[in-house]
Structure 1
Amino acid sequence: MKGFVFHGPGQSAWEEVPDPGVKDPTDAIVRVDAVTICGTDLHILKGDVPEVCPGTVLGHEAVGEIVETGSDVRTVRPGDRVLVSCITACGRCRFCREGAYGQCQGGGGWILGHRIDGTQAGYVRVPYADLSVHPLPGAVGSEDAVLFADIFPTAYEVGVLNGGVRPGDTVVVVGAGPVGLAAVLTARLYTPERIIAVDLAESRLDAARRFGADAVVAVGDGPEQLIADLTEGLGADVAIEAVGVPESFEMCTRMVRPGGRVANVGVHGRAATLHLEDLWIKNVTITTGLVDTSSTPTLLRMAAAGRLPTSSLVTHTFPLEHMEEAYDVFARAADTGALKVVLGRPRHDTLAVPTV
């Protein structure tokens, strides 16, 4: 089969890789039918995630069909259509027992496309399949479903829930990429008074308007002053950082009110300054986190019921073998207008099950 392989910062290729096989009795082998590219993948390619070893197949989000399972897998079987979660959970360690699957100490956490081969290939091996894949309702199409592997639970759990969004709040989302837009959509579930989106790109600000932001502002047009004007000088109740650069994090800490909450979602590759000389007196809560995906079943049910519009988040689709082109389009989002790109296997494709 072929996969998208990381060969070091700035080096990658769509190339032949070994077919995956069952290694442990809790494994499942999934034929990848739809996959997407995450901003975290771009961070890996830039060298911001140095623990990813050259030779690793990237990707941690997919929809596909189970083609083989290990002897201990009980919740899915060959032929099932499933969502492959970005987080793998052993289900036994202390963190998994608390629902904090992202911190799994039993060989899980974020491992796909990070510590083991990921989903941007013809097939993927998913450890601990009972907790790490989700059977999909027929009402949710593959292009929509793949968005629930990462961006929706990440925005919801690490942004909205960690940020403690409440009715009547003023919420500012800094970064209107896919995760930021998912934060706008899921923050609306808690009926804040207003949601303001901040970004560099006009196309993404337009998208934020479509997804329900009450106001949008470009980075160069004084977002801090806008927040002050809208809140009588108090600042935002919740500031969600969805970029992953020092400037956006520091902006969030300046825009939040005394007693407010800053929820950092972005993946940071450089140090950010924490201005405690200003913040120590303001009772500000700052949270960080890796998604746990404990909310995924709930979000999928909401999607099936039509409560979370998702389809317009997907702006570009490609055949699976056009992975390099898809990366180029996604990486140049300011020029291409890309939000989320999805790559799929042709419906008539009947590739054989990989040799195991």
Structure 2
Amino acid sequence: MKALCWHGKKDIRYDTVADPTIEHPRDAVIKVSSCAICGSDLHLFDGFMPTMESGDVMGHEFMGEVVEVGAENRKLKVGDRVVVPFTIACGECEQCRRGLFSVCERSNRNKEKADKVFGHATAGLFGYSHLTGGYPGGQAEYVRVPYADVTPVKVPDGLTDEQVLFLGDIFPTGWQAAMQCDIQPTDTVAIWGAGPVGQFAIRSAILLGAKQVVVIDRVPERLAMATLAGAITINFQDESVVERLNELTQGKGPEKCIDAVGMESHASSSLDAIYDRAKQAVMLETDRPHVLREMIYVCRPAGTLSIPGVYGGLIDKIPFGAAMNKGLTFRMGQTHVNRWTDDLLRRIVEGQIDPSFVITHSVPLEKGPDMYKTFRDKEDGCIKVVLKP
């Protein structure tokens, strides 16, 4: 079969690889009908995530048709149309029973390696390094899905791929980011990053009743999309984020702050951004935490910082004294996708939201290597790429 494979920093290739097979009775094999490039895939593309190996199949946002089912899988049958969450969950361990699917205790088949790096392993993830299990990803013609009797979301008749594809990651990720904020009707929610996850966080915060939602970015197309949703926008290249947020909140600061950027944050010309890039260049720091610093500084005392943006390693110069003295609450983590999918699918069916709004580019899978560059560099108005095998 054909797949997009990682061969090093900025080197994604359209390769021929072995077809997946059933390896466990609970497995299923999916023929992919649609997949997508995620912002966190760019962390692999840019070489910031460790333990990638040449030939690894990329991608963790995908859906398609079941073509083979293991003998013990009672949930799926051949012909079912499903969206597959990026988090691989067994459904039986203590964490899964608590709904904490992204920290499943069984699905990471490289648990010992992850334990050494993180203290405790997280769940297995599709197409996202050998620290998370080394599972082949979904930017491919076919995918083997472990524990396929637990996580796949069956798609109702009448819904297009484009309406439901993002149930596997960015829609529940933006939703969880907003849910972690415990939004009240009097809250201002500030969201750093108007990429795909940020766009869903905007709409989630509005659906959950925030008084006002403010979005920080610098890409005109992203800011325009945020405005259409009803958000107030700040272009950080044109004005001070801190001053504008204080103006919008009568000097109090936003009660809830969401980091939808993660390890590759940008800043126009701030000293801390220059410092981060210098340390990153000489391998003294893995991540650029400008957004985290800014959120801690501007958040209202006793407020909440929600962090769906992915971080991979070590960060520096975090004003933790300010965070402690201001009484800030941090909530973060990979998304517990299946905790949210029933509710979000219902909202799609009822017409509360059509997730396809975020798609700007839809191309054949073979165009994927070029689209990684287009997506990364935000060229051609690119916000979200869907790939068709």
Q: Which has the larger displacement, 177-186 or 10-19? A: 10-19
1:113 maps to which of 122, 127, 134: 127
Report the residue type matching 1:124 in the other structure. V
Structure 2 equivalent of residue 149 of structure 1? 168
DSSP-derived class of the 1:32 partner:
strand
- CA change 1:110–1:296 in 2 (3 A) is farther
Q: Which amino acid aligns with 2:103?
A: Q
Contact 1:160 1:183 in 2 (8 A): yes
Matched, 1:341 2:341: no
Q: What SS does the aligned partner of 2:326 have?
A: coil
Displacement after TM superposition at 1:67 (Å) = 0.1
In the alignment, which residue of structure 1 is the partner of 2:344?
Answer: 299
Distance in 1, Cα, partners of 2:332 & 2:318: 13
Match of 2:333 in 1: 289
1:332 match: 377
1:327 and 1:19 map into 2 onto residues whose CA distance is 24
- Counterpart in 2 of 1:352? none
SS of residue matched to 1:129:
coil
Aligned to 2:119: none
**Matched residue type, 2:228:** R
Letter in 1 for 2:161: S
Structure 1 residue 6: Cα displacement: 1.0
Q: Which runs of 5+ in 2 are unaligned?
A: 109-122, 129-133, 266-288
Residues in 2 aligned to 1:167 and 1:76: alpha-carbon distance in whole angstroms = 41
- Measured against aligned partners, the alpha-carbon deviations of 1:315-336 in whole angstroms (never above 9, x if no partner) come to 1100122211222221121x32
**Equivalent AA in structure 1 for residue 185 of structure 2:** P
Q: Give the TM-score normalised by structure 1.
A: 0.93
Give the 3-state SS of the residue equivalent to 2:317 in structure 1. Answer: coil
How far apart are the structure 2 equivalents of 1:10 and 1:231? 41
Residue of structure 2 in register with 1:138 after alignment: 157
CA distance in 2, matches of 1:309, 1:144: 6
For residue 9 of structure 1, report the CA deviation from its aligned partner.
Answer: 2.3
Residue deviations 1:70-112, cap 9 Å, x none? Answer: 0111111100111011111101111111111100111252421
Matches within 5 A, 1:122-201: 122-157=141-176, 159-201=177-219
CA distance in 2, matches of 1:47, 1:324: 15
Displacement of 1:217 in angstroms is: 0.6
Shift of the 110–168 alpha-carbon distance from structure 1 to 2, 3 Å rule, reads farther
Which TM-score applies when normalising by structure 2? 0.85
- Aligned partner (choices 211, 229, 245) of residue 227 of structure 1: 245
In structure 1, distance between residues paired with 2:318 and 2:184: 25
Q: Specify the alignment match of 1:69 in structure 2.
A: 69
Give the alignment partner of residue 267 of structure 1, picking from 310, 324, 327. 310
Q: Report the AA paired with residue 320 of structure 2.
A: L
Which amino acid is 2:106 matched to?
G
Q: Which residue identity is paired with 2:381?
A: G
Whether contact under 8 Å (1:48, 1:268) holds in the other structure is no
Query: Kindly, what percent of the aligned residue pairs are identical?
Result: 34
Pair 1:203-2:221 in alignment: yes
Distance 2:324 2:125 in 1: 36
SS state of the match for residue 336, structure 1? coil
Instruction: Decide whether the 8 Å contact of 1:249 with 1:272 is kept in 2.
Output: no
Question: Deviations 1:198-239 (Å, cap 9, x if unpaired)?
Answer: 0021221111101221x1011131121111112111100100
Contact 2:297 2:322 in 1 (8 A): no
Q: Is the 8 A contact 2:296 2:322 kept in 1?
A: no
1:254 matched to 2:291? The reply is no
- Give the whole-Å Cα distance in 2 for the aligned partners of 1:10 and 1:312: 28
Contact kept, 8 Å, 1:155 with 1:180, in 2: the verdict is yes
* TM-superposed deviation, 1:308: 1.3
- For residues 309 and 106 of structure 1, the distance between their equivalents in structure 2, rounded to whole angstroms, comes to 34
- Alpha-carbon distance in structure 1 between the residues aligned to 2:56 and 2:332: 26
Moved over 4 A (4+): none
**Native 8 Å contact 2:171 2:355 kept in 1:** no
Establish whether residue 236 from structure 1 lines up as the match of residue 254 from structure 2: yes
Amino acid at match of 2:56: T
Corresponding residue SS for 2:150: helix
The CA deviation at 1:48 is 1.7
- Provide the secondary structure at the position in 1 that maps to 2:207: helix
